[in-house]
Amino acid sequence: MTAAGTPIAVVTGASSGIGAATARGLAAAGYRVVLTARRKDRIEALAAEINEAGHQATAYPLDVTDRAAVDEFATAFRTIGVLVNNAGGALGADPVATGDPDDWRQMYETNVIGTLNVTQALLPALEASGDGTVVILSSTAGHATYEGGGGYVAAKNGARVLAETLRLEIVGRPVRVVEIAPGMVKTDEFATTRFRGDTEKAAKVYAGVAEPLTADDVADTITWAVTRPSHVNIDLLVVRPRAQASNTKVHRES
Ligand code: 8X3
């Protein structure tokens, strides 16, 4: 699936936000990027844009929660250099007392089981490269909780634990496991999806914050971690905007 010598980087959730920016960043860093997401049109357009810029990209529509489809996808590769598990997200911001169990289930399914599916399916190809890197996008929500965050925090803790456990289990094999934990990142879709299309509620998340992180900021961090010499494993990078000291301590200009 690739020209000899060009390492492949698979990015999940590459149709927008951090995933799309990471695909651009890794392509510019010399990887042949494979863009996956459910939205075929989006990833095909992004692949075309990357190819037009003189880099290499292909699009492969994929739902990471569909294990049979993920296994089928994995058969296309003998070796892979990098897997960025970015697909995921938040649904709702309800208290534990009233949160919808279906939201919790769906967040666990995408953020944890989706990451598990793709990581399990591609691990042999990552190992076969002799120098593989698995990136797991957790969140600062995977490190500390906040009111209304319950379901998302639980799911992102799952993603964090997946990264930490995998790193222990495969030590000695040629695959690094990198966890990137972003705080407040303003993207087109994260908060709007969380609040089911309510753009007013979504805008309040960032109200008065001078400079929330952008998708490019996080993509830059991921690309940096991935392009360190292969004996250097960036276990965990927590990255927040300067205006955010913790999940609940955010400086807002009135
Ligand atoms: C996003 C960070 O604060 O919205 O992963 O949970 S937060």
Residue pLDDT, tens place only, 19-32:
999 999 999 999 99
Taking the C-alpha atoms of residue 2 and residue 179, their distance in angstroms, rounded to an integer, is: 26
Give residue 145's Cα distance to chain centre: 19
CATH number listed for the domain at residues 8-239? 3.40.50.720
Q: Is the pLDDT of residue 1 over 50?
A: no
* pLDDT tens sequence across 82-123: 999 999 999 999 999 999 999 999 999 999 999 999 999 999
Which of 110, 139, 250 for mutating ligand 1's site (highest number of atoms within 8 Å of CB)? 139
What is the enclosing helix (H) or strand (E) of 166?
A: helix 150-169
Span from the CA of 200 to the centroid of ligand 1 (angstroms): 17
pTM as predicted: 0.97
Task: Please confirm, yes or no, whether 146 is among the known catalytic residues.
Answer: no
Handedness of CA 155, 137, 82, 36 (dihedral sign): positive
Span from the CA of 184 to the centroid of ligand 1 (angstroms): 6
8 A C-beta contact, residue 110 and residue 162: no
* pLDDT tens sequence across 160-183: 999 999 999 999 999 999 999 999
